[in-house]
Amino acid sequence: MRLIDSLAATPAMADVFSDASILQAMLDFEAALARAEARTGVIPQSAADTITRLTQAEVFDAAQLAQHSLRAGTMSIPLVKALTDRVHSADPESAKFVHWGATSQDAADTAMVLLLRRASAILAADHVRILSALRRLSDRHAATVMLGRTLLQPAPPITLGLKVAGWFGALKRSWARLEAAFAETMIVELGGASGTLAALDEHGMAVRAALAEELQLQNPDAPWHTHRDRLAAVMCACGIYTGSLAKMARDVSLLMQGEVGEAAEPGADGRGGSSTMPHKRNPTGCSLILAAANRVPGLVASFLFGMAQEHERGVGGWQAEWATIARVMEDTSLALASMTEVAEGLSVDASRMRANIDATCGLIFAERAMMLLAPRIGRDAAHKLLEEATRQAKLSDVLAEHLSPEEIQDLNIPESYLGSAETFRKQLLAP
């Protein structure tokens, strides 16, 4: 992995979009196409066997192909030529049937689908891990009270268990969208020059169905060269999923602030330190997640902009997609892997949470006091009275005038003012 990518991709996802992986995906298409055409009687079986035997990415010069791709406008053209030359060296007759009846975008689109299938498996594994970690964390802290915070200001108490369950629920919902989008995208692309498979004559539909079987992909209703809605759905779902991870990262990083000190990322050698300040424990994982989340929306917008493609084959739209899709997948993977590590090792300081509640000197219970006073003096009058009292730091005096000592004592117990927090927590964690 290049240094410039070290803060923007996990090694596993970087490998999916490596030169060798991309080449192999495209060669897998060519080999599967040859086998499908042999199965349907379009080309000789011997040609399919030879083509399949010679489609190993490691024997092709990726750097040279990259140079030629820049001139050709697509990687498929120089790769098909290189494969044809390689097959010709082994069997000139078989070389005639390389890429038979297909077009360059068929190879590129199907290869991208194969790469996305690998990418989705990587994301799915980390998604399972993070949900398990969040469920454990929420259950462990179901009764751990902490400040609610609205507009970054202290508010009535909540439980850490509820906060974590909120993260869990958002990620679960976001993944459902992403998983569905991935599933819809697992389709083969084979349309030929204008999306009619005219070059394959009456064999076109049979070849397409056989190709889908060979690659274990779905066979869509028609070629989709300039209809990028399925891929767009994956990009948008990644944007939402990464945004959900970013919300969690924002919360954790704020809880890590020194003056708050309620939670902290796991620490280790080389993690979270400062080059100049030995005392610091920085939110390293959160910073990577938030950086990824800063990039993804713009990339998603770029993909959506490219959906307006011309007629049956576009100019520039689909050529722009490869780099965009790879970047979105890498950012999503980095954000998820980083947040999984944070969730699995998050340390919680429950005593500091309690201390921060106590430090408000009961002000966060002004809403509760208002609800007690409202039946006696009216809601508006109670709100105005308490608002003025809190501004003048005379809340205790006002409460003493209107509430009994027992009511005042109970007023400041956070556990007795959690409302439906536990019900909501359990509902968010429900299967």
Distance CA 113, CA 216 (A): 11
Q: Which residues have a Cβ under 8 Å from the Cβ of 204 and sit 6 or more positions away?
A: 101, 192, 196, 197, 198
- Which listed residue (117, 173, 177, 313) is catalytic? 313
Torsion of Cα atoms, 385 then 389 then 390 then 392, to 10°: 140
- Which listed residue (6, 46, 274, 404) is catalytic? 274
For residue 254, what are its two tokens?
């704020």
Active-site residue flag, 313: yes
Angle at 392 between CA 387 and CA 398, to 5 degrees: 65
Query: Among candidates 23, 146, 306, 238, which has minimal Cα distance to 15?
Result: 23
How far is the CA of 207 from the CAs of 42, 210, 219, 258, 283, in angstroms? 8, 5, 11, 64, 53
Let me know: does 29 contact 115? Beta carbons within 8 Å: no
The two beta strands, 263-264 and 347-348, are: antiparallel
Let me know: does 411 contact 362? Beta carbons within 8 Å: yes
Active-site residue flag, 354: no
Catalytic residues: 274, 313
